[in-house]
Amino acid sequence: MLSREYKLKKENDFKKVFKNGKYYQQEFIRIKILKNDLEIDRFGFPIGLKISKKAVQRNKIKRRLEEIIRLKLNQMKSGFDIIILVNPEIIEKSYQEIEKALISLFKKANILS
């Protein structure tokens, strides 16, 4: 599980990233990235009811995304706030497909070495 210090929690932080961040898209995943003045990356996962009405499925998606990030965290450039947005098709995707798409997005955004 991703440590608490690596999570975006405050509404102001989310608003700042949505307003000023760069946007990248890949199949069923999109990310918004904004440079922060910290030594670490922070991640946000707004998975809403539009994705699934079932909390079990929404939480499963968040856990999968967090695990992918946790495993790749040491390879990422630091100092970014990143919001990961998903489409409803992600429910049918396997862990490997999600991992491949997310890593591809991080490379596209030039934050994964």
* CA quadruple 106, 80, 17, 50: dihedral, nearest 10: 40
Q: Is the pLDDT of residue 15 over 90?
A: yes
User: pLDDT tens for residues 86-111?
Assistant: 999 999 999 999 999 999 999 999 99
Q: Tell me what pLDDT residue 113 has.
A: 75
**Which residue segments constitute the domains of the chain, with CATH numbers given?**
4-108 (3.30.230.10)
Total-model pTM:
0.92
CA 33, distance to chain mean position in Å, is 9
**Which residue matches tokens 């991992």?**
99
Burial of 3 (0-12, 13-18, 19+ CB in 10 A): exposed
User: pLDDT tens for residues 22-69?
Assistant: 999 988 999 999 999 899 999 999 999 999 999 999 999 999 999 999
| Backbone dihedral angles phi then psi of residue 62, each to the nearest 5 degrees | -60, -45
Beta strand pairing status for 22-26 and 29-35?
antiparallel
